[in-house]
Structure 1
Amino acid sequence: MKHALLTATLAAAVLGTIGGTISTASADSIPGMRGHDHTGVTVPDMKQAVDFFTEIVGCKKAMSFGPFADDKGTFMQDLLGVDPKAVIEEITLVRCGHGSNIELFKYTAPDQRNLQARNSDIGGFHIAFYVDDIAAAKAYLDEKGVKTRMGPLPVTEGPAAGQSILYFQAPWGLQLEAISYPNGMAYEKDAETVLWSPKTPDK
């Protein structure tokens, strides 16, 4: 009997039930959250990465700083979750048009791995740039010798209809995308929440 009562009490605490009423979780947010400020990317060669983003993609370099290390303690591990002996040799931030910033890191670490994650890998990711003319973007990337994949691919069905996409790749393997939807996407017609877009940055 006591076991059954304890189980019921724990269930009520976990589920938030009182008198058979279940309380649903509210959609909270981080206090004061305004939006996506930057994406951090660790690169093998800082000059190569900065040159690619500024001379090929068209971003603007904003600032560089570093190095950061802790020879005696666990500051790097405590702050960043990396090996205590990891060193950030340099950090450079670039701004890319009407969008959030990209923070480039050059690390050394005793346990450093070169993952080059694919889009299908857990933890894999890509950075997408909105372009006005995706066919022109494809021609430009080809001219610059940048590796591109199939496309541009127009999406003609479903909620994303109206967009065209083209995946491409940085010299060190970072996955990138060019995307365009000059007339919007199908989902926008009835959507309560419309995705932020660099083509209308104030909305």
Structure 2
Amino acid sequence: MKRIITLITFLALSFGGMVQAAGINAAGVDHAGINVPDLKQAETFFHDTFGCVPVTHIGPFDLAALASPDGKKQTGSVSISMIRCGTGSNIELFEYKNAQGSTVMPGMADIGASHIAFYTDDVKAGVAYLKSQGLTILGEPITMASGDTAGETWVHFRSPWGSDMELVGYPNGKAYEKTSHVRLWNPKHPAE
């Protein structure tokens, strides 16, 4: 019996899938959500910079009528847009008006801080484009020379409203791929 389980596990991992543990059988990441100060500005930025296309728009919704996860009474309204970006996950944009939320952007090391990474085969050309648009690049592109991610180049930048974002590329793959049976999802090969 142990050999059969080992064989099934090996076959599942060999074909790029992972054996799902108990719990939710998630097919993948549907979307990442981010709060933005201006929905139209964010849609334009994502479209003009990365080719993302706005697909759905809902709201504004009165926050007082919506349940709050923390049980506090909410004020203001929220409008929501879902955008499609290439072969990757969708991005859900939230614009809150007259709400009581913080307007301070979380720092990179703050709990709850997050970022979205956009794949490109040419990170340096991407940096040149972002600079031409007046965006702040946080340091210089770093190419990993060793370890599991050897072959990957990345750099962080700030969106027009100050969110931390990233450009990442690994056109020739990453070092871990030579030894691991499980592959990270790759936007260039989304079905693998």
TM-score band, normalised by the shorter chain?
0.7 to 0.9
Question: Structure 1 110/167 Cα, relative in aligned 2: closer, same or farther at 3 Å?
Answer: closer
Please give the alpha-carbon distance, in whole angstroms, between the structure 1 residues aligned to 2:141 and 2:156: 8
Q: Which moved more, 1:157-166 or 1:113-122?
A: 113-122
Q: 1:37 aligns with which of 26, 30, 38?
A: 30
**Structure 1, unaligned stretches of length 5 or more?**
1-25
Question: Structure 1 40/176 Cα, relative in aligned 2: closer, same or farther at 3 Å?
Answer: same
Question: Structure 1 89/195 Cα, relative in aligned 2: closer, same or farther at 3 Å?
Answer: same
CA displacement at 1:28 relative to structure 2: 1.8
Tell me the TM-score normalised to structure 2 length: 0.82
1:53 alignment partner, SS class: helix
Please give the alpha-carbon distance, in whole angstroms, between the structure 1 residues aligned to 2:111 and 2:82: 26
Higher relative contact order, chain-length normalized (CA < 8 Å, sep 6+): 2
Tell me the TM-score normalised to structure 1 length: 0.78
CA displacement at 1:110 relative to structure 2: 4.8
Please give the alpha-carbon distance, in whole angstroms, between the structure 2 residues aligned to 1:84 and 1:58: 38
Provide, for residues 43-80 of structure 1, a one-character-per-residue CA deviation record: whole Å limited to 9, x for no partner. 11112211111122321111211122264x6x321xx4
Verify the 8 A CA contact 1:163 1:180 in the aligned structure 2.
yes
Verify the 8 A CA contact 1:76 1:86 in the aligned structure 2.
no
2:140 alignment partner, SS class: coil
What residue is the counterpart of 2:46 in the other structure? 53
1:152 alignment partner, SS class: strand
Q: Matched residue pairs, number?
A: 173
Alignment map for 1:5-24 (pairs within 5 Å): none
Alignment map for 1:32-181 (pairs within 5 Å): 32-69=25-62, 71=64, 75-77=66-68, 80-81=69-70, 83-108=72-97, 110-181=99-170
Please give the alpha-carbon distance, in whole angstroms, between the structure 2 residues aligned to 1:88 and 1:70: 5
CA displacement at 1:96 relative to structure 2: 1.0
CA displacement at 1:133 relative to structure 2: 1.1
Question: Structure 1 87/192 Cα, relative in aligned 2: closer, same or farther at 3 Å?
Answer: farther
Please give the alpha-carbon distance, in whole angstroms, between the structure 2 residues aligned to 1:126 and 1:98: 18
The AA in structure 2 aligned to 1:167 is H
Question: Are 1:28 and 2:43 an aligned pair?
Answer: no
Please give the alpha-carbon distance, in whole angstroms, between the structure 1 residues aligned to 2:142 and 2:71: 39
1:68 alignment partner, SS class: strand
Question: Structure 1 82/200 Cα, relative in aligned 2: closer, same or farther at 3 Å?
Answer: farther
